[in-house]
């Protein structure tokens, strides 16, 4: 009986030991599975972020090439840029505005997906957030207007019954001057993050250069047209004697060259000091 009891006791101990070993093995396997799962999850997230980063860079590259290749006037160029921005950071409310002295001219404006007419704002008394961005030459990220309103560096100038909740403002810098502002806005709070600001900053730099080139091209084109007009007027009126006919040709050529309407020529009466309309 003693031998049987000993064997039974020994088998019980072995069973308990085996159970303990199995529990330890199971715990180790569980820990290993958790570590492996965490590693795979991290790897998946890293790959996902990598793919997203590659997609962002591709979108930025495409946008940059489109902007550089564009041979457009400023208005058309801003519309093109707005379309490229929507591929990088989807936003229904977007604007590009340019500074002209103390005025802010919104060249492209879209609110909730609807294109708005161009508009001019006088910044003399209240320059608002765009004035702050111009003066600071730094981008501005607002995650929630309602919560941050009291702490904003400047008070916004709303022109909507439903003002935005979040926004990203980027200065358009050419050389040492801020020529305008690019702004993306949303009716949702916390719609934009630092990563969005980084991407938009890159695009804003390209935009500023493109707009400056477009403005320079327009000025040079206008200058060349003026010189051509002077030469053409000189050639055509060279053989004319009648003054009325000369005035008529100058008006006609000016309208044809610049598309101005109406065009008038006045002659000063030196005795009375009055301007007399001639054509």
* CATH code for position 153: 3.30.450.40
Task: Say whether both 126 and 4 belong to one domain.
Answer: no
Q: Which of 213, 236, 232, 235 is nearest to 224 (CA)?
A: 232
Domain count, the chain: 3
Tell me what percent of the residues of the chain surpass a pLDDT of 70.
65
Task: Say whether both 264 and 226 belong to one domain.
Answer: yes
* pLDDT score of 133: 96
Inter-helix orientation angle 194-237/2-69, to 10°: 10
Q: 10-44 as b/e, with b when 16 or more CB fall inside 10 Å?
A: eeeeeeeeeeeeeeeeeeeeeeeeeeeeeeeeeee
Task: Say whether both 91 and 200 belong to one domain.
Answer: yes
Q: Tell me how crowded residue 266 is: count the other CB atoms within 10 A of its CB.
A: 12
pLDDT tier, 202 (very low <50, low <70, confident <90, very high otherwise): confident
Task: Say whether both 12 and 123 belong to one domain.
Answer: no
Q: What does the alpha-carbon distance between residue 183 and residue 93 come to, in Å, rounded to a whole number?
A: 8
Model-wide pTM > 0.85: no
Report the number of secondary-structure helices (H) and strands (E) in the chain. 6, 9
* pLDDT score of 266: 61
Task: Say whether both 78 and 64 belong to one domain.
Answer: no
Q: Are the beta carbons of 195 and 150 closer than 8 angstroms?
A: no
Task: Say whether both 171 and 63 belong to one domain.
Answer: no
* pLDDT score of 7: 46
Task: Say whether both 80 and 211 belong to one domain.
Answer: yes
* pLDDT score of 76: 85
**H or E segment at 136?**
helix 128-136
Is it the case that residue 14 has pLDDT exceeding 60?
no
Q: What does the alpha-carbon distance between residue 30 and residue 236 come to, in Å, rounded to a whole number?
A: 95
Residues 6 or more apart whose CB falls under 8 angstroms from that of 201 comprise 139, 170
Task: Say whether both 206 and 251 belong to one domain.
Answer: no
Q: Which of 165, 137, 173 is nearest to 153 (CA)?
A: 137
Task: Say whether both 62 and 76 belong to one domain.
Answer: no
Q: Which domain range does residue 208 map to?
A: 72-215
Q: Of 69, 100, 115, which residue sits at a domain end?
A: 69
Task: Say whether both 249 and 268 belong to one domain.
Answer: yes
Task: Say whether both 91 and 205 belong to one domain.
Answer: yes
Do you find a cis peptide bond into 262, omega within 30 degrees of 0? yes
Task: Say whether both 52 and 96 belong to one domain.
Answer: no
pLDDT tier, 144 (very low <50, low <70, confident <90, very high otherwise): very high
Q: What is the 3-state secondary structure (H, E, C) of 186-217?
A: ECCCCCCCHHHHHHHHHHHHHHHHHHHHHHHH
C-alpha gyration radius of the chain: 35
Residue with tokens 């570590």: 35
Give tens-digit pLDDT for 37-85: 776 677 666 566 655 555 555 555 555 565 555 566 888 888 988 888 8
């Amino acid at each position: 009986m003693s031998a049987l009891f000993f064997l039974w006791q020994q088998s019980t101990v072995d069973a308990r030991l085996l159970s303990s070993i199995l529990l330890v093995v199971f715990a180790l396997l569980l820990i290993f599975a958790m570590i492996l799962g965490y590693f795979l999850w991290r790897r998946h997230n890293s790959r996902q972020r990598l793919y997203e980063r590659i997609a962002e860079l591709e979108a930025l590259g495409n946008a940059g090439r489109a902007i550089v290749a564009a041979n457009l006037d400023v208005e058309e160029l801003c519309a093109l840029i707005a379309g490229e921005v929507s591929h990088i950071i989807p936003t229904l409310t977007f604007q590009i505005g340019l500074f002209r002295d103390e005025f802010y001219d919104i060249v492209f404006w879209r609110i909730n997906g609807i294109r708005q007419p161009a508009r001019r704002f006088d910044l003399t008394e209240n320059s608002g957030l765009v004035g702050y961005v111009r003066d600071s030459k730094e981008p501005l990220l607002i995650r929630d207007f309602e919560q941050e309103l009291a702490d904003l560096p400047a008070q916004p100038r709303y022109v909507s019954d439903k003002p935005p909740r979040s926004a990203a403002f980027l200065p358009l810098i050419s050389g040492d001057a801020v020529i305008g502002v690019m702004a993306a806005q949303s009716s949702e709070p916390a719609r934009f993050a630092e990563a969005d600001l980084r991407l938009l900053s890159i695009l804003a730099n390209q935009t500023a250069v493109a707009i400056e080139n477009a403005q320079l091209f327009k000025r040079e084109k206008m200058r060349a047209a003026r010189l051509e007009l002077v030469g053409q007027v000189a050639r055509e009126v060279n053989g004319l004697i009648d003054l009325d006919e000369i005035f008529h040709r100058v008006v006609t050529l000016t309208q044809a060259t610049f598309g101005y309407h109406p065009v008038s020529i006045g002659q000063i009466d030196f005795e009375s000091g009055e301007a007399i309309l001639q054509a």
